[in-house]
Structure 1
């Protein structure tokens, strides 16, 4: 009888310890964390982005109907809002959204200026359908920025007397409206899958989120700061490599990227910080992450008196400090957060050193 009881106990122990590639049962509700990511992060930022794309398209229509300086200025403000809201959703490039590559359809920078001008000068069809097959850096937010910010106000208004140029702009807005419908549908269909995804490993929900945070930080470090500043790849400063260089909005979009990452980490009701605490039983790592965000905010405040384009030349030390602070946050995420949460970082870094 004792042998039989012992055998049953050992069998139960083996079953409970077996690897089923699902999240371990503990006091922290990881599924609720995924619910909160959807409700507190995804839902509001996607709604705001969708609204700003609609507003951008409406502003394009208003400008196309009456081409004047007032409507051009309103269009520029609508562009800035859409670009800012895009920068908040950029960190949510996971699962079906990532697989669809739809984020590049919204914003692929820098714009291919010569290709845009060639298309306008050609007899090629200008339509939503035709634009779906052209390169992403000839449409989307980067193309709109080029068309409305490249030249002076007077020159821009004069250029838009060209009916094909105006039609190109109008079709860019229509294309974005079409893409935002697809984007919100993707999220509507994916959010339940994300919430129910209790797998560990590279396909797990938390793993996807941490990897997306890491990937965006890599892009910020390398493509949005390091390479334009001559810190990575080359020692030459090249402001044309900046995101949103023509609108001088580069720094604010970086700030929005970092805000999106911070929101995802600290959450509202639940965040990754709560998950970390449930494992470590200490706030030490979370405090280091928070301190690093505060360091970044301090540097960004110092740089706010100028554009990043000007800072590359006139504030080189502060730009380097910004680069280093982003790199340090990357290290914390990769070495400490990922290790604590048993996350596998599958993104390769872009470091040119």
Structure 2
């Protein structure tokens, strides 16, 4: 247990929130990390929050995100439009015990995505301790994820540890185990299907993934493809009632369910299958873990998130962790701890 009282704590968070016409649309990731932030705040740490923000390929200032968080959740949050320069250093220097500052968007600086050692060192010089609370960004080998732990005592945050603990259940699952995969990103889902063909009892397929397996002459028996769908020009927009009911039936007979990705094109209004599945799973007493930005955002909109066993903040990070059982951000912390132990 690290004593953080009066220590400067550099915490990597994920405040990459969806913003439309200048307004934050979904603050799920903020709500999830709040307990960790408030705990460190209460322990007297001087909290330096760093995050990236990507809005349609652009890297705007975090100023509006900071204003939103300050108004809704953290009244004492300070925002500084600087990252490693004089303004940032001065703000950190003036932090009192229990104070917190959010610095400027990491991706506005070239050294972040390139994992430049010089940039990582500048970030590390701001603090005494590094905590990674950005599981959802930890599949990226960026400076704030894998570079900084080389230069500071480092550890996982409480939320990050919960992500590892809950998602790891899929590696030694109770049976029957149902994996439900949908959504648009085919390339990120295929490695997961290959990984879990021998672990899952059934793998139910929805979204764009359906077309990938419809082309196969003899898909594995445990892969459940739709028998009816709403489609046009060979493009599946949603699963039909029979197909959705089949997935629900499998879920009701399972002890463990892992769900990532909507069954249809929900942003286009084709949400019937996803909504029916979501409500059925929310009524279940089974162990159900869900993740993926589109899926979580939709469940939040329906007000169903509290009814699931665990909701991951990760999209691509969740998929990569499940496929590889690790992430660049995890390896960086592990190596940092080994280095510090050897130095003692």
With normalisation by structure 1, the TM-score equals: 0.22
- The structure with the larger Rg is 1
Higher strand share: 2
Higher relative contact order at CA 8 Å, sep ≥6: structure 1 or structure 2?
1
TM-score, normalised by the number of residues in structure 2 = 0.22
Structure with more helix by fraction? 1
